[in-house]
Structure 1
Amino acid sequence: MEITIGVQNLARELVVETDQSAEDLAKTVRKALGGDGVLEITDSRGRQVLVPAATIGYVEIGSGDQRPVGFNSL
């Protein structure tokens, strides 16, 4: 699952690839924005990404479907 985080006063977005489901990610984001103070996500390599909730501009949770890359013959 891919999650994109827009951070205030930062020109680039944070893009994190994680093994968590969309529902789990949404709960984690809601908890952080609701008063936890820090959005904490573990990426698919096991690294932790911490973002202060006060600086989050937006969060986009991608679909779990992976599109094929390259040419496919049908």
Structure 2
Amino acid sequence: MAVEVKIGISDSPREVTVASTLTSDEAYAEVEAALSGKAQLLSLTDDKGARYLIPITKIAYVEVGGAENRRVGFGAV
């Protein structure tokens, strides 16, 4: 199951959203390791293979949650 990671960037009105193939626990561990000072960058790869590098000094907040299945159309309930 994919997980959605939302990252708030300081001094930016938009957030970065990454749909990763990691589990929720794995994504949380990656974020926690980066924010603990072991690395200067948070590195994530999305489900399409795009790579994201975010400097930890610019991270305002991180939300790790399950990705939603988006429903399209009038019959989707």
With the shorter chain as reference, the TM-score category is 0.7 to 0.9
The amino acid across from 1:3 in the alignment is V
- Superposition TM-score, scaled by structure 2 size: 0.83
Tell me, what secondary structure is at the counterpart of 1:62?
strand
Percent of matched pairs sharing the same residue: 34
Structure 2: state its 5+ residue gaps: none
1:33 paired to 2:35: yes
Structure 1: state its 5+ residue gaps: none
Cα-Cα RMSD: 1.8
Partner of 1:54: 57
Q: Which has the higher strand share?
A: 2
* C-alpha separation in 2, matches of 1:24 and 1:15: 16
| CA drift at 1:67 | 5.1
Tell me, what secondary structure is at the counterpart of 2:57?
helix
* C-alpha separation in 2, matches of 1:73 and 1:54: 41
* C-alpha separation in 2, matches of 1:73 and 1:47: 30
- Superposition TM-score, scaled by structure 1 size: 0.86
